[in-house]
Amino acid sequence: MTAVATAPTSTTAPASTAETSYPAVERAAIDASARGPVLFFFGNGILWLMLATVLGIIASIQLYSPGFLADVPFLSYGRIWPAFTNTICFGWGSLAGLGVTIWLLARLGRVKVKFPGVLFTGAVFWQVGLTYGILNILGGKTTGLEGLEIPTGSAVLMLLGYLLVAVWALLLFSFRSQTTPFISVWYLVAALFWFPWSFAMAHAAHVLPNVSGVVQNLVAAWATQNFLNIWLTSIALAAAYYLIPKVVNRPVHSYNLAAIGFWSFIVFTGLTGAVRLSGGPIPAWIVTLSIASSIILLVQIVTVTANLVLTMQGQFHMVYHSPTIRFTFFGAIAFTVSSVIGLFASLRSVDRIVHFTQFQNGEMQLVVYSFFSMVIFGAIYYILPRLVGCEWLSSSMISLHFWGAAYGGTLLVVTLLIGGLMTGAALNDSDNTIFATVMNTSELLNLGRIGAWLLLGVGHLVFGLHFLLMLLRIGQPGGEPTLFAPIGEEAKH
């Protein structure tokens, strides 16, 4: 792959140039040391993704046909939906994200992975706790708080497992031999510190005797917003800031812009949680502070978007060739879209319409799937060949995965957002006095949602099979990467 590298706009060397300054044999040794734990995290994350897909399909059918599985209590919509959200967030999202985190910290820090048993143990504790929590949710034994449905006992096991992984990752960071402060590392270290604090505080607070009622819901909203907008977002942005410059062979456009985006993100994102309770019985100034913080985050939206797009400038044709770039750039665009929609949805005038509708679920899917998951898919397509020693078997399978994920995810988000707007408008119409009539306004969109999940299911099934073939070393011999089209065919597009 050939590309003209431009000089970085600061004295900080970007990953795309600094990482290649040390020998390939050293990079290979680092990849070999990370192989076991990273594959374990990826493999288990994909299994959770498959389970989430099944739960998502069931939930979408139930929205269209409420009688579906209505006689099976543990498969009712009120249990399936929170089981789905926890499965895709804590199962797929966190495990796959931690796999990417481990590999990036090792590669960017130029340090081999030591004591992998700690990572395996942490992953096992996390999954035992999560499995117990999902079973409790399906059994109807939850906290009753959106975003904190997992019982306290499960959360303790998950936190213990996470701390084993996070402390190990931070020690890996402390022993790094590469001292250059990469922007990707900034986001990863921030995420590793922030998640256990918000997760532990939220689950501890809601069981305290003096924390009840509205305060519990405020804590749950804060924790949910932190999970989506700090934990998952930090990992995905770290991956995007690494992958795009690396594949197009060009430095990050501006580390000054990256720094501005990072610090505005760190300072204000944690203050946005109360927008989820706009109009509720909480002090108005708390909601106003969250709305103001959401507006200030325009700084991050603009700087991150501009930085990634300008880094791609002159190399947009790589979207037609590189699976990593296609997935990652799609996710980067989804980040901008989700951030802008989240900003507008935080305004009281908009929230008054979309509150208590599927609109918020659409916002969540936009972050978790269209942004985070697509970037992580791109990362896995880049990382896995370096771990197993062969290239992906089929560009057609990668293409099928992309179109299933892109079309399915987009259709899912669009139907949820439009359905939320239509339902909200109908609920606010004083002429609509029958609730069933209101719900029928989005019946066709509910049917489209089933189609979206079927597309996602096909994409995930192909991805899981392709991943399994790579684990079995059934792929193309190592060398040139598996591309959608050979480099040099830009003129055809």
State the Cα–Cα distance between residues 313 and 319, nearest whole angstrom: 12
| Res. 12: pLDDT tops 70 | no
- The pLDDT of residue 491 is above 60: no
The mean-pLDDT minimum among 322-326, 364-368, 489-493 falls in: 489-493
The pLDDT of residue 425 is above 70: yes
Both structure tokens of 303: 């700087």
Cα(404)–Cα(409) distance, integer angstroms: 8
pLDDT band, residue 79 (cuts 50/70/90): very high
Distances (CA, A) of 331 to 73, 104, 193, 374, 412: 36, 18, 24, 5, 15
pLDDT value at position 10? 35
Output the six-digit token pair for 369. 């799937």
SS3 176: coil
pLDDT in tens, 355-410: 888 899 999 999 999 999 999 999 999 999 999 989 999 999 999 999 999 999 99
Whether pLDDT at 19 is above 70? no
Higher-confidence position of 398 and 276: 398
CA distances from 458 to 53, 291, 380, 403, 449 (A): 10, 38, 18, 10, 14
Burial class (CB in 10 A: 0-12, 13-18, 19+), 242: buried
Checking phi first, is residue 189 left (phi over 0); if not, alpha (psi -120 to 50) or beta?
Answer: alpha
The pLDDT of residue 482:
85
Residue 180, pLDDT above cutoff 80: no
Which band of pLDDT confidence, cut at 50, 70 and 90, is reported for residue 18?
low
Q: What is the pLDDT of residue 98?
A: 96
Q: What is the per-residue pLDDT for 439?
A: 65
Q: Average pLDDT of the chain? A: 88
Neighbours of 156 (CB within 10 A): 15
Give the DSSP per-residue string, 43-91: HHHHHHHHHHHHHHHHHHHHHH-TTTTTT-GGGSHHHHHHHHHHIIIII
What average pLDDT does the segment 425-435 reach? 70
> Is the predicted pLDDT of residue 80 greater than 70, yes or no?
yes
Question: pLDDT band at 9, cuts 50/70/90?
Answer: very low
The pTM is what? 0.92
Q: Cα 126–37–124 angle (5° rounding)?
A: 20
Residue 71's closest CA among 62, 81, 63?
Answer: 62
Distance separating alpha carbons of residues 400 and 451, to the nearest angstrom? 16
Element (H, E) at 390: strand 390-391
Checking if the pLDDT of 13 tops 70, the result is no
Structure confidence at residue 356 (pLDDT): 83
